[in-house]
A and B are shown apart, each in its own frame.
Chain A
Amino acid sequence: MSNSYYDKSHLAKFGNITELQEKLGTKFFDYYNAVFEGGELSAREKALIALAVAHTVQCPYCIDAYTETSVKHGISEPEMMEAVHVACAIRGGASLVHGVQMMEQAKKLTM
């Protein structure tokens, strides 16, 4: 048992989650794999979306995994950073847009 909350080797063991609740786990992985197949969006586009979302949910496993997938697709580091900025902008914007709520509520409450 490792002493830290995140252990790199857990990523390779992700599949083990099917050991408990096999049906649900298998359904999840089937779905997961289907999502990443080329469809209307290319596998490359999906890799970039996944990379941005990984930064939003701040999952170190996903960040490692989708950085590697992006590299495999020949996505350059500046492109990857741009995707991270997209995540950041949406995330920051989501905080900031609530500022309007704060402004209106404050206005209502005060004379």
Chain B
Amino acid sequence: MNKNTVEIDFHPELELLRNRTETLRSLPAFDEKLNETGLHPLTPTGLDILQVNVGYMCNMTCKHCHVDAGPHRKEIMPRKTLQHCLDAYDMGGFKTVDITGGAPEMNPDFRWFVDELHQRGAHVIVRSNLTILVTNPKYRELPAFFAERGVEVTCSLPFYNRVTTDRQRGEGTYDRSVEALKLLNDLGYGKDGSGLELNLVYNPAGAFLPLPQQELEADFKRQLRDKHGVSFNNLFTITNLPISRYLDYLLRSDNLNDYMVTLVNAYNPVAAEKVMCRNTISVGWDGRMFDCDFNQMLLMPVEAGDSNATYIQNFDTETLMKRRIRTGQHCFGCTAGAGSSCGGSLA
């Protein structure tokens, strides 16, 4: 077993979400809701997306970050583990490899990894925070590197205005993000017919659910085009899950009860049926596999028999397809309203 790995049965945040207040205790359990709608136990439908979290280091420290990423984080996926991910990809089955972090670009083996995937013909998504792409000359080359390899770039941009964006992600973020978007546009990203996909990710900057994705996408498109001449393909609205730094915010601002009630009341079985953990495997920096990036943060690895079987070097399709997905009250974030996933709303 990897000596750096923390073994944990039940994350304190999960306990907090269930038990902290009278209101939270009075809410139905996520599994009960699944049960009522005929979805319990939650099981996989396929293994389509391999989401690799290549490290928690980031040039930013956003207020809502569920990874608790930042410049201080030293957890970086080593090349050996990246190789294990490639081996898992080679075993067939995955259609997409989704590279995330932190700022994935900060992993020293990032380009090597993207190249290896490109050579294998994989559909590669890189989740970029945009600002990193204009941070220094080393990273400024990346948009061209992505374009040459047909990488799909999915970027976070909290809002189409400066005030809201900078409040969530720090002073100067908006201007630098727009600069990065222009760089990507200049290479053909987000332009019709270029085949270079540029998507934006929106997270609410506060304790509320996103507006309907289509409506917000139309607003983003109009505003970014009119103000900056910037274009992109799709907007993905993502609901903030009540874990990590965002949970701290909910507690500090005394919003946790109301937020959880909102999520639970908005439970949507159509979204629940399509939650991303049903066709995704998320790999942590140390090689452990999780049902999703959120469970990764909660240190709840896949339920796949013994501890060794939870590591990517022991990847086995059959075992993973037979597993039960591990759920908790945080999962209500994925099933509220139109639902939420790394690819946006679900219903």
Contact = CB atoms under 8 A, between A and B. Distances in A.
Do A and B actually bind? yes
Interface of A: 12, 38, 43-44, 68, 71-74, 76
B265 interface: yes
A43 B215 contact: yes
A74 B208 contact: no
B215 A12 contact: no
Nearest to A44: B219
B244 interface: no
A74 B161 contact: yes
A34 to B, nearest CB: 15
Most buried by A among B161, B204, B215: B215
A74 B211 CA distance: 10
A68 B159 CA distance: 16
B321 interface: no
B46 interface: no
Contacts of A38: 215
Interface of B: 159-161, 163-164, 204, 206, 208-211, 215, 219, 261, 265
22 contacts: A12-B261, A12-B265, A38-B215, A43-B215, A44-B219, A68-B208, A71-B206, A71-B208, A72-B204, A72-B208, A72-B209, A72-B210, A72-B211, A73-B211, A73-B219, A74-B159, A74-B160, A74-B161, A74-B164, A76-B161, A76-B163, A76-B164
A44 B219 CA distance: 10
Nearest to B159: A74
Nearest to B220: A74
Nearest to A12: B265
Contacts of B161: 74, 76
B21 to A, nearest CB: 14
Contacts of A72: 204, 208-211
Contacts of B210: 72
Complex A-B, nearest 5 residue pairs according to Cβ-Cβ distance, in ascending order: A72-B211, A74-B159, A74-B164, A76-B163, A68-B208
Contacts of A44: 219
Nearest to A76: B163
Contacts of B265: 12
A12 B263 CA distance: 12
Nearest to A8: B258
Nearest to A38: B215
A12 B161 CA distance: 30
Nearest to B222: A42
A8 to B, nearest CB: 8
A17 to B, nearest CB: 17
Contacts of A74: 159-161, 164
A71 B160 CA distance: 13
Contacts of B208: 68, 71-72
A38 B216 CA distance: 12
Contacts of B219: 44, 73
